[in-house]
Amino acid sequence: MSSQIDPKELKVLSDILALVLDEQEGQAATALQALRHRARRNTITAGALKNLFVAIAPEPPKPRAKATGTRSGTSRQGTSSRDTVENRQRLMALTEDLRQMDLELRSSRARIEGLRAELNQTRASRAEVQAALHAQQGAKASGPRMAVIWMACGVGILLGVAATQVVHSLNAPRSQIDRSLYLR
């Protein structure tokens, strides 16, 4: 890392950190992703980022002079050092919060991946159970179905034989009875 800090990079970094601390979760997550992407692109590690903050902290921006100018130089010096200490503490707290959020994000992603794997296993198990259930229902249904088919065939054969007998009996030539025997 160079000893000179680029003001544009510092501005972008401060904007990103402001978004990370924003109350809206979507913007904060997007800002974290942008911060990670920028760090990977510039090959900046977490330690280098921390060192950047430490390098910035001893050189706080000059306080703006008020229009009235009621403070003396000694009170400005005391306030400035107090502000520097407060800024360092705030920066350390923000860095810790950022680290904590990063850990929570990683654990959430790992938990999501675990749940996705479990969901896929559950889907596969459900498909296997449904296939087994369909096979079992098909085996149960084929037994009574076959009995009904055989019974229908038997009834059909009996009806066919009976119908054939009826047709033959109706179409059979009638023999003439010799009635002359009764006349004698």
Tens-digit pLDDT profile for residues 32-84: 787 777 777 777 777 777 777 767 665 555 555 544 444 444 455 567 788 88
Residue with tokens 């800090």: 5
How high is the pLDDT of residue 22?
64
Question: pLDDT digits over 17-32, tens only?
Answer: 776 776 667 777 777 7
d(CA 26, CA 31): 9
d(CA 181, CA 184): 6
d(CA 43, CA 49): 10
Whether residue 52 contacts residue 35, with contact meaning beta carbons closer than 8 Å, is answered with no
Question: Region 89-105: what's the mean pLDDT?
Answer: 90
Q: State what percent of residues in the chain have pLDDT above 70.
A: 73
Name the band, by pLDDT with cuts 50, 70 and 90, for residue 148: confident
**In terms of pTM, does the model score above 0.85?**
no
SS3 content of the chain, % helix, strand, coil (to 5): 80, 0, 20
